[in-house]
A and B are shown apart, each in its own frame.
Chain A
Amino acid sequence: KAGVTQTPRYLIKTRGQQVTLSCSPISGHRSVSWYQQTPGQGLQFLFEYFSETQRNKGNFPGRFSGRQFSNSRSEMNVSTLELGDSALYLCASSLAGQSYEQYFGPGTRLTVT
């Protein structure tokens, strides 16, 4: 079974631009969570989607948004990029009702210049 895939793997953007990251969960997994990882703050929870609905959101500004499609694939969008948004963005998927065990993708490394 294929693992969680994230595209693109690397991205360089300029301040003020927007960016969209994609995550394809493991087949059959309907829950997708997004995390931001930086050296200073570590891994921080962004949001979680299940059946196309956002069920939970972390403490991030409204510039960070996401969505989930009917095939469980998910995208996250960051508008008006700031230098501090440079980070590794990770998504994780899990089976419905079994979010104890989340499977992480390799992440998208975003650099904002």
Chain B
Amino acid sequence: DAKTTQPNSMESNEEEPVHLPCNHSTISGTDYIHWYRQLPSQGPEYVIHGLTSNVNNRMASLAIAEDRKSSTLILHRATLRDAAVYYCILGGWSGAGSYQLTFGKGTKLSVIP
């Protein structure tokens, strides 16, 4: 399975932008890049996903390198509610039409008031 590498932890000041990096040098051409986050005592929550082009949604932006070997999740203005573990995940189609997410260790983001 293709793997991702993320920093174990990061800190950010409240109301400042946050850039969470992810390396995925073994990504295949059909793998999508996903970001999920997990708040304490909750299940993971979808944040954003993309294939080749940069993506924006109401929660965040995803910047994908041209060679697709790395990506960055951008939170434009961190709030205390954004403190969570952020997972960078490669998703791909397995046999029989199944789509599988392979989670890594994630980055624990702390937001400082």
Interchain CB contact under 8 A, A42 and B32: no
Q: Please count the residue pairs between chain A and chain B whose beta carbons lie under 8 angstroms apart in the complex.
A: 58
Interchain CB contact under 8 A, A55 and B44: no
Within 8 A of A (CB), among B16-47: 32, 34, 41-46
CB neighbours of A75 from chain B (8 A): none
In this complex, the interface size class of chain A, counting residues with CB under 8 Å from chain B, is: 20 to 34
Interchain CB contact under 8 A, B97 and A44: no
> Contacts A48-B98, A55-B96, A56-B94 given: A104-B103 contact, CB under 8 Å?
no
Interchain CB contact under 8 A, B104 and A104: no
Interchain CB contact under 8 A, A106 and B46: no
> Contacts A56-B95, A100-B91, A101-B49 given: A45-B101 contact, CB under 8 Å?
yes
B12 interface hit (Cβ, 8 Å): no
Q: Is the interface of A mostly helix, strand, loop or mixed?
A: strand
| CB proximity of A73 to chain B, nearest CB, Å | 17
| CB proximity of B64 to chain A, nearest CB, Å | 15
Q: Please give me the residue from chain B that is nearest to A45 by CB atom.
A: B100
| A residues whose Cβ falls under 8 Å from a Cβ of B | 4, 31, 33, 35, 42-45, 48, 50, 53, 55-56, 90, 92, 94, 99-107
| B residues whose Cβ falls under 8 Å from a Cβ of A | 32, 34, 41-46, 49, 87, 91, 94-106
